[in-house]
């Protein structure tokens, strides 16, 4: 009885394996009437301020469908929550790829979260497009040909800040706080790139925090006590807001240079208090909705109309919405370039061949472009300073 059962079992396993291992055609998730797109972002947890990205994309693709879809097909946009937890990201990615059978993964958010799925998605040969993280490694087209970045790299951004501080405050005593992961470390390395062996002399205090911490108030006090007059922060909005508030409250007014992931008014400046944020320097590649200069710009009007119609309760001072609109636009441009061939290979090929597209809401003078050896669509940044109630841009466009 036992042996027969075992043999029957093994035979069944073999049979099941044959049934299950039928090769998936390279056109996955696309039919004559539908294109399935997968997306993951933190709708819950410490990074949930980025959840508006998913909300914006859902509305954006609904508008695409309302206007007729792409090549006669409607977009089926599946967006899942990972709570910024890498283990959960792995699970949701597997679900999208293996259960929902999406054509590709679009704009998943976070550095540690995308790191967790990096090898898997490349081994499965699923396009991993325009990831919402700017760590240096997403442009590695040689080892990870299915992954493409989007925004200018954090390291490049940090180098720009380093050069700015060197020019503005040549005798500065500086301090740095960074998130203890790939995102934060890129800033450390970027600054080290610029300062070289002088780094330790200039940066008298370097502190870190975990993305699961409740507060960074104690780090702020530590930084103030170091006597520094320049503070560089590589933090996500929740912590940037805390830092702005705390440093103001303890009467410390350094030159604050902030990572542009926190450049959102709604997520950072408003919770901190606009008057406390006066003078903060950050960078941008997007038009800020509160900047009076763009009041009558065509693309800004188009975006406001979109927000009014599709996300009426959305906060139009939140740069995350602007970011999402831009990256969804490049996705749309890529899909349009595919013609009628939506195989994963072609989608990836078109993504790697974007010819200088002036995306809506990019600062003037900036455009997106990729080639098979350049997987970084956006490269340029401009510095901006917080003044009373808006970001005031200054200086030249860097890196275009």
Partner 1 sequence: MTENMSRLLRLVFIAAALLVPLFFASGYQLFQLTLVVAYALSVLGKNLVTGFGGQVSLGQGAFYAVGAYTAAILMEHFDVPYWATIPVAAITTGIVGLALGLPALRLGGLYLALVTFAMAVSVPQLLKYKLFENWTGGVQGIVLLKPDAPFGLSLDPDQWLYLFTFAVGAALFLAASNLVRSRIGLAMMAIRDQPLAAEAMGIELARYKTLTFGVGALFAGVGGALGAIAVGFVSPDSFTIALSLTLFVGMVVGGAASISGAIYGAIFIVFMPNIAEEISKAVPGAIFGLILILFMFFAPGGIASLVAAQMRRLRLTR
Question: Which residues contribute to the site for partner 1 (CB under 8 A)?
Answer: 9-10, 12-14, 16-18, 20-21, 43-44, 79-81, 84-87, 90-91, 94-95, 97-99, 112, 115-116, 118-120, 180-182, 185, 210-212
* Burial of 45 (C-beta count, 10 Å sphere; 0-12/13-18/19+): middle
CB of 160 to partner 1, least distance (A): 23
CB of 140 to partner 1, least distance (A): 14
Closest to partner 1 by CB, 69 vs 112, is 112
Report the 10 Å Cβ neighbour count for 204.
16
User: In the sheet where 230-234 sits, what is the strand order?
Assistant: 203-209, 174-179, 230-234, 255-258, 281-284, 381-387, 390-398
Among 395, 381, 237, residue whose Cα is nearest residue 317:
237
Closest to partner 1 by CB, 180 vs 346, is 180
Backbone angles phi, psi at 314, to 5 degrees: -75, 145
CB of 174 to partner 1, least distance (A): 21
Closest to partner 1 by CB, 79 vs 262, is 79
Q: Distance between CA 353 and CA 375 in Å, rounded?
A: 9
Q: Distance between CA 61 and CA 76 in Å, rounded?
A: 8
Closest to partner 1 by CB, 81 vs 288, is 81
Q: Distance between CA 141 and CA 109 in Å, rounded?
A: 19
Closest to partner 1 by CB, 93 vs 284, is 93
Closest to partner 1 by CB, 179 vs 282, is 179
Report the 10 Å Cβ neighbour count for 166.
14
At 349, is the secondary structure helix, strand, or coil? helix
CB of 119 to partner 1, least distance (A): 5
CB of 252 to partner 1, least distance (A): 26
CB of 177 to partner 1, least distance (A): 15
Going by their DSSP bridges, the two strands 255-258 and 230-234 should be labelled as parallel
Closest to partner 1 by CB, 94 vs 276, is 94
Q: Distance between CA 307 and CA 322 in Å, rounded?
A: 10
Category of 68 on φ-ψ map: left (φ > 0), alpha (ψ -120 to 50) or beta: left
CB of 120 to partner 1, least distance (A): 7
């Amino acid at each position: 009885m036992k042996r027969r059962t075992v043999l029957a079992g093994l035979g069944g396993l073999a049979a099941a394996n044959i049934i299950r291992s039928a090769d998936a055609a390279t056109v996955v998730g696309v039919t004559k009437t539908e294109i399935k797109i997968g997306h993951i972002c933190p709708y819950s947890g410490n990074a949930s301020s980025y959840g508006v990205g998913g909300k914006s994309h859902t509305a954006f693709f609904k508008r695409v469908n309302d206007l007729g879809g792409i090549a006669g097909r409607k977009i089926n946009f599946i967006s899942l929550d990972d709570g910024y937890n890498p283990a959960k990201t792995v699970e949701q990615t597997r679900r999208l790829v293996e259960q929902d059978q999406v054509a590709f993964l679009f704009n998943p958010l976070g550095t540690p979260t995308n790191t967790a799925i990096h090898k898997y998605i490349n081994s499965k040969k699923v396009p991993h497009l325009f990831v919402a993280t700017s760590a240096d490694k997403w442009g590695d087209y040689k080892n990870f040909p299915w992954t493409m970045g989007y925004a200018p790299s954090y390291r490049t951004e940090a180098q720009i800040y380093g050069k700015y501080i060197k020019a503005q405050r040549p005798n500065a005593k500086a301090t740095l706080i960074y998130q203890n992961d790939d995102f934060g470390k890129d800033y450390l390395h970027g600054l080290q790139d610029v300062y070289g062996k002088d780094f330790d002399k200039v940066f008298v205090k370097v502190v870190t925090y975990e993305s699961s911490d409740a507060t960074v108030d104690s780090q702020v006090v530590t930084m103030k006590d170091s006597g520094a007059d320049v503070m560089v922060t590589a933090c996500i909005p929740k912590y940037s807001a805390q830092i702005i508030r705390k440093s103001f409250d303890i009467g410390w007014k350094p030159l604050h240079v902030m990572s542009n992931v926190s450049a959102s008014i709604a997520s950072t400046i408003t919770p901190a208090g606009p008057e406390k944020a006066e003078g903060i320097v950050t960078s941008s590649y997007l038009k800020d909705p509160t900047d009076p200069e763009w009041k009558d710009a065509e693309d800004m009007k188009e975006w406001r109309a979109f927000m009014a119609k599709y996300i009426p309760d959305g906060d139009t001072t939140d740069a995350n919405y602007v970011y999402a609109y831009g990256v969804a636009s490049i996705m749309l441009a890529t899909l349009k370039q595919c013609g009628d061939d939506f195989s994963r290979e072609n989608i990836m090929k078109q993504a790697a061949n974007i010819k200088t597209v002036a995306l809506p809401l990019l600062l003037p003078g900036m455009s997106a472009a990729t080639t098979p050896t350049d997987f970084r669509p956006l490269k340029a940044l401009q510095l901006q300073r917080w003044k009373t109630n808006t970001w005031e841009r200054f200086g030249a466009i860097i890196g275009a």
